[in-house]
Structure 1
Amino acid sequence: MSVGRLVMLDLKVGVRGYVYPIYLLVALAYGLMVKAFPESYHSVVIPLFIFFEPGLVGFMFVGTSIFAEKKDGTIGALSVTPIEWRSYIFAKTLLMLVVSLIAATLIMLIGTGSLEGLSYVLIGTFLVSIVYTLLGIAISSKYYDLDDYFVAILGVMVLSLLPYAHYHGYLTNKIWKVLYAVPSYPGLYFFKAAFEEISTDILMRSGIGLIIWSVVAYYFARIRFYKYAVEGLR
């Protein structure tokens, strides 16, 4: 089965199970929440909400999707059917990417009433969504219970939000420079570029950093998904 057909199948299942409609409703809620803030705060809250949507919410949603497909035997069937399990990973990532781009656009349009700077936001969303979707696949593959996965979600959430605290001057010790290696940090520069001047050099380095993270996350997802989800090892 091709990646395109897998995407359409996953979309039908996700819509039937209200996964993707809920995902977009969350984006709508974020956009409405932004309107409650004065315009001077948009450069702070919008990058945070946009990251939550393609990043952390996507990370959680792809994990719950994999849990559901483990229980109904969809993933287990990959080991005995002609479906290429790598195509499954690509299909999941592609669908979450498209939904994330729509969600980011909704947040910008509803929250600001404008699409100015949207190109930066979409580039950042594109890269961040790939990284966190692949990480979600990689990490959730080992778990069979949402309660266990919740611990991983909290860990990823805390680590991913620390760069925002560092960027805004709350973590000043030099040791916190290690946070530049967290994928949410380069994503933050793209989201901030819609509201303030960010040099081309920084954006280029941020883009390269996220591409490297994408490669690492894919490698991580490929190994763990096959080992724990397809083969069913624990």
Structure 2
Amino acid sequence: MRLTAAIAYDIKLQFRHGFYYAYLVISLFYIALLQFLPSSAREMANILLTFTDPSMLGFFFIGGLVLLEKGQDIHNTLFVTPYKPEEYIFSKTLSLTLLSALSSYMIHVSQFGFTTKPLLLMLGVVMTSIFFTLAGMGVAFRCRSLNGFFFLSTLVALVFVLPLSDYLQIWSTPLYHLLPTQASLLLLRSVFEPIPPLQWIYAILLLAGWSGLAFLWARYSFRKFIMLQMGGDGP
């Protein structure tokens, strides 16, 4: 019940700070861009844009949100209540994931209608958003300024976007199959290219494993750089 209230609060906060309007503008821009592309290139472009939406946007938006709350000293008052760090992390992650899912689905439907079966596509969007939001949160907890966050997060993001070079047929290595973004691209492509069950099971398990690691890192970063600096080690 407390987590539900926290998610509702975060959605209101994101509305107040213009996140939904920003996502709407970005989504409309993507839709307009896809309309100008030839149909032969539209599927690939849609996958790339859909990947960018939950991954890069969620990754950087969560940094701005966390640093905004740091600047307003919200954490100092928030955690004198029974509110737990895990609830804070889950609330931020799920609220931004909802936003990414709505945006990605709108972009996909605008181009390809309701004729495709987007179950694995949306699963890929949701799991990708969860991973990158958690990863971005872990970076943001460690940073004091927005400039510092953008510098450090760019270095982290560069590692995880490397599988795009395989998708674009620029360069490939078996090591990409260890990265979560390889699984993300596999699930996103499934709406146009059906994949065998073993492949989507691999993709789901890989993303789930990386998301678990990202959560542990975000929680550790929160306790070390937020809770301990408030004078306590938290619950």
- Structure 1 vs Structure 2: percent identity of aligned residues? 25
Compute the displacement of 1:170 (Å).
1.1
Compute the displacement of 1:115 (Å).
5.1
Partners of 2:116 and 2:226 lie apart in 1 by 42
Matches within 5 A, 1:65-144: 65-114=65-114, 116-144=116-144
Which structure 1 residue ranges, 4+ long, deviate > 4 Å from structure 2?
none
Q: Who is 1:21 aligned against?
A: 21
CA offsets 1:14-64 (integer angstroms, 9 cap, x no match): 111102321232122212211221121123111111111111100000110
Partners of 1:232 and 1:190 lie apart in 2 by 40
Partners of 2:156 and 2:29 lie apart in 1 by 23
Partners of 1:84 and 1:8 lie apart in 2 by 16
Structure 1: runs of 5+ lacking an equivalent: none
SS at structure 2 position matched to 1:169: coil
Partners of 2:191 and 2:118 lie apart in 1 by 7
Answer yes or no: is the 8 Å Cα contact 1:104–1:121 preserved in 2: no
Partners of 2:54 and 2:94 lie apart in 1 by 12
TM-score (norm 2): 0.91
Matches within 5 A, 1:1-234: 2-114=2-114, 116-172=116-172, 176-232=173-229
CA-based RMSD of the aligned residues comes to: 1.7
Q: 1:115–1:158: structure 2 CA closer, same or farther, 3 Å change rule?
A: farther
Higher alpha-carbon deviation: 146-155 or 96-105? 146-155
Q: May I ask how many residue pairs the two structures share in their alignment? A: 230
Compute the displacement of 1:109 (Å).
1.4
SS at structure 1 position matched to 2:62: helix
SS at structure 2 position matched to 1:162: coil
Q: 1:115–1:147: structure 2 CA closer, same or farther, 3 Å change rule?
A: farther
Q: Structure 1 counterpart of 2:155, which letter? A: G
Q: Who is 2:233 aligned against?
A: none
CA offsets 1:185-213 (integer angstroms, 9 cap, x no match): 10000111111132221111011100111
Partners of 2:132 and 2:46 lie apart in 1 by 19
TM-score (norm 1): 0.92
Compute the displacement of 1:68 (Å).
0.3
